[in-house]
């Protein structure tokens, strides 16, 4: 059986699949050519990440296809329910990238409160000529310890983010319409662990009391954070979005940055991805990454292995 990993797969996953008798193709096929490629090569399983869309046309017109896999958590680029109705297996790897995304959230947080994103832009340009001025410009940082982190969406990634926040010494609150209570267990290197119990707060309470807010929700029809929500926030709040473009109103964000109500934002995803707006890209108070939340070697290895194990279980 042939598996097409159209957006790539870690070599560890390829090795496991090939050792079980699968042929793995890693050709990147353009969206408009994908249907023909699947049919011409008798593809049994299609693996994607965020770049490839698997809609009804692929599902209806590719009779050899028995499985669709998403390397990652969100499956908004796949017509999941329709595929299941047609008898296809649909799999993903919800746990594999949680730690990597959570660590990226804190990369943005640590960088934001100490202006690292802007300092790294300006030091190469002016570090030799305006060192003292830059030192003064970036000399009013704040600590994360003791501050309140509001987490909107408390699934695996939200809880992984909470673990880091607790380790840093932050207070954590969360809002999730689907999770009323959660027990977060933090394991340490020596085998000890500490557990914390949380109850979901109202969205309004979280927004109005948090010093920093991070989003961990799937794609939405409406903004989770829009103009109304930004007006409810404490002055000086920091915002992180490493979830999905479109869950945060970027126009409202820029307005809030301009009026000083938001002091900085960290964005890994964008409304107009893969072509983010120039106002976002050029803003000095926004820390930017190109949708790399799950892009660590460790996460990709876990994703590859989890996909391979599920494929073997389902198709062999």
Say how many C-beta atoms besides its own lie within 10 A of residue 153's C-beta. Answer: 23
From 49, 108, 117, 244, the catalytic residue: 244
Question: Is beta strand 193-199 parallel, antiparallel or unpaired with respect to 181-187?
Answer: antiparallel
Residue 291 known to be catalytic: yes
The token pair that represents 220 in the structure block? 């939405």
Q: Active-site residue among 103, 273, 277, 309? A: 273
Question: Could you confirm whether 273 is annotated as catalytic?
Answer: yes
User: What value does the CA radius of gyration of the chain take, rounded to a whole number of Å?
Assistant: 22
Q: Sheet harboring 212-215: ordered strands across?
A: 171-175, 148-152, 212-215, 237-241, 262-267, 286-288
Tell me the sheet residues that pair with 193. 187
Token pair recorded at residue 38:
């699947």
Cβ-Cβ contacts under 8 Å for 236 (sequence gap 6 or more): 211, 260, 261, 262, 263
Which of 271, 291, 302, 306 is the catalytic position? 291
Query: Is 244 assigned a catalytic role?
Result: yes
What does the H/E/C string look like for 111-163?
Answer: HHHCCHHHHHHHHHHHCCCCHHHHHHHCCCCCCCCCCEEEEECCCHHHHHHHH
Tell me whether residue 195 is exposed, middle or buried, using C-beta atoms within 10 angstroms of its C-beta: 0 to 12, 13 to 18, 19 or more.
exposed
Q: How far apart are the first and last CA of the chain?
A: 9
Q: Please identify every residue annotated as catalytic.
A: 244, 273, 291
């Amino acid at each position: 059986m042939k598996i097409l990993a159209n957006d790539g797969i870690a070599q560890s996953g390829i090795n496991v699949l090939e050792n079980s008798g699968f042929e793995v193709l890693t050709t990147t096929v353009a969206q408009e050519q994908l249907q023909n490629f699947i049919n011409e090569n008798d593809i049994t399983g299609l693996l994607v990440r965020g770049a490839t869309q698997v809609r009804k046309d692929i599902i209806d017109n590719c009779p050899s296809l028995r499985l669709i896999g998403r390397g990652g958590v969100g499956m908004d680029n796949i017509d999941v329910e329709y595929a299941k109705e047609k008898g296809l297996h649909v799999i993903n790897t919800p746990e594999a990238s949680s730690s990597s995304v959570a660590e990226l959230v804190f990369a943005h947080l640590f960088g934001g409160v100490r202006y690292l994103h802007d300092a790294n832009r300006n030091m190469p340009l002016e570090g030799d000529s305006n060192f003292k001025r830059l030192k003064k410009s970036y000399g009013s940082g704040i600590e994360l310890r003791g501050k309140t982190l509001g987490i909107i969406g408390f699934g695996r990634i939200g809880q992984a983010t909470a673990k880091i926040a607790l380790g840093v010494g932050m207070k954590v609150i969360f809002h999730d319409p689907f999770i009323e209570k959660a027990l977060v267990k933090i394991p340490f290197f020596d085998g000890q662990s500490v557990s914390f119990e949380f109850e979901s707060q109202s969205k309004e309470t979280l927004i109005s009391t948090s010093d920093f807010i991070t989003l961990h929700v799937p794609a939405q029809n409406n903004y989770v954070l829009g103009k109304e929500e930004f007006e409810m926030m404490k002055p000086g709040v920091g915002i992180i979005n490493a979830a999905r473009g479109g869950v945060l109103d970027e126009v409202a964000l820029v307005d809030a940055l301009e009026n000083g109500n938001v002091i900085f934002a960290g964005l890994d995803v964008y409304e107009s991805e893969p072509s983010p707006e120039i106002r976002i890209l050029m803003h000095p108070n926004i820390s930017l990454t190109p949708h790399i939340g799950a892009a660590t070697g460790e996460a990709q290895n876990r994703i590859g292995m989890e996909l391979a194990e599920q494929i073997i279980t389902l198709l062999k």
